[in-house]
Amino acid sequence: MPVTVSHVGVTFKNTTVLTDVTTEFPDKAITALLGPSGSGKTTLIRCLVGAIRPTTGKVMINELPVPHRSLLEKVGYMPQSDAVYTDLSARANLEFFAGLHRLSGARRHDRIANVLEIVGLGEHADERVGNFSGGMRRRLSLAITLLPEPSTLILDEPTVGMDPVLRRSVWGSLRRLATDGQTVLISTHVMEEARRCDRAVLLRDGEKVADGTVSALEASSDGEGLEHYFFRKVH
């Protein structure tokens, strides 16, 4: 489901965090949300999922205003912090969240098996999450997000702590989801990951300073590549 951001501004007390941000995140595409620490990436993401109401402007998903009850099952959000139960196994975590999403029977079993395979945790499914490394917990968080097959995925630094082989596998899965029609938004500061995306939106000090296809942004870098383009825009 496409996401549209129109003139969004966010002010906390006397501090402006976002200023007049307008952009879109289309379906059938992966969009990178880029920016240095403090640029407003996480605040914008929280607006997209309805955790923060913009001071000005609006966010629409599939032409519905955010927040909207009918979007709850259709938008998958993976925050930076891992919301997992460390005293349970990975499988038990997924069983719990499957229940919240009202998944049952064969579909429940198949979805759990599928997401465990996507994130490479099949061999560790019955191990206690408290014994997992940070990267493994990150993978479990991604599996939980993918569980109900959301139409829109909003992922805040999803591959932090993952080894290169698994990161490549996860990106392959995200690409297949986008090809199948899903909207995928990824917040990242890793240029290698940004280059895997179709589009990129760059924030600096709460303002949008670049927005377009990755190929177009690279073409405007005078041959220096996306990383140099990013550096010029934020310094």
End-to-end CA distance of the chain: 34
Stated pTM of the model: 0.88
- For range 60-81, the mean pLDDT: 89
95-153 per-position pLDDT tens digit: 999 999 999 999 999 999 999 998 889 999 999 999 999 889 988 999 999 999 999 99
Does residue 227 have a pLDDT over 80? Answer: no
Q: What is the structure's pLDDT at 159?
A: 82
Within 13 A of 59's CA, how many CA atoms are on the CB side?
A: 25
DSSP-derived 3-state class of residue 141: helix
CA distances from 169 to 16, 142, 163, 172 (A): 38, 13, 10, 5
Quick count: other Cβ atoms within 10 Å of Cβ 150? 21
Q: What is the structure's pLDDT at 37?
A: 84
Q: Which CATH class is domain 3-74+151-234?
A: alpha beta
170-193 per-position pLDDT tens digit: 888 889 889 999 999 999 878 888
Q: What is the structure's pLDDT at 49?
A: 93
Q: What is the structure's pLDDT at 235?
A: 64
Task: Name residue 34's beta-bridge partners.
Answer: 202
- Report residue 230's pLDDT band, with 50, 70 and 90 as the boundaries: confident
Mean pLDDT of the chain: 90
Angle at 33 (CA atoms; ends 7, 75), nearest 5 degrees: 80
